[in-house]
Amino acid sequence: MLSISVQPPARARPGAILYPPLVIRLSSEHDLYEHLAGYWTVVTLLHYSSGEVLYDQMDGKMADSAHPIAQSRSRGVRDQAYFFFPDLVIHHPGRYRLRVSLMRMDYSPESGPDGAVVCDEQVDTRSIVVEDSGPNYSRPSESTKEIL
């Protein structure tokens, strides 16, 4: 299951790195670790109200591979991994959200000899308002600091 561990700031200034950074968690009741090499996430910028994908308005690391998290098996969730986006920048004023897509390579016989890319899940962030009077960064909460 894909979830957001750290939301990007609700307000930002054009051209400023989004801080705190977006952190995504992948958790599973099944044995996830043996398959992590085939998973990655991609971040896209969406216009908040229309949902239109906006190309060339965001920079930074927009894809990440899975980073395993050591977990106690007694908590109910067996395996977890995270994805980290430390330097995302939105260049133009407006109201946006980020969509994170969990991608996987499928090498099953149905996918052909070279395999196929499959989008398994997507999750959207809260609204991000980018305006000239916005802050350069936001202070993370104590719980967010623990994750970072």
| Domain encompassing residue 11 | 2-136
CATH number at residue 99: 2.60.40.3960
Contact 90, 110 (CB under 8 A): no
- Does residue 15 lie within any of the structural domains? yes
**Stronger pLDDT, 147 or 67, i.e. the higher one:** 67
Q: Are strands 89-90 and 58-59 parallel, antiparallel or unpaired?
A: antiparallel
Contact 45, 85 (CB under 8 A): no
**Stronger pLDDT, 144 or 23, i.e. the higher one:** 23
> Residue 22, Cβ neighbours under 10 Å: how many?
25
pLDDT digits (tens, 9 = 90+) for 85-129: 999 999 999 999 999 999 998 888 888 888 899 999 999 999 999
Is the pLDDT at 4 greater than 90, yes or no? yes
Cis (ω within 30 of 0) for the bond into 93? no
pTM listed for this prediction: 0.85
Q: How many domains does the chain contain in total?
A: 1
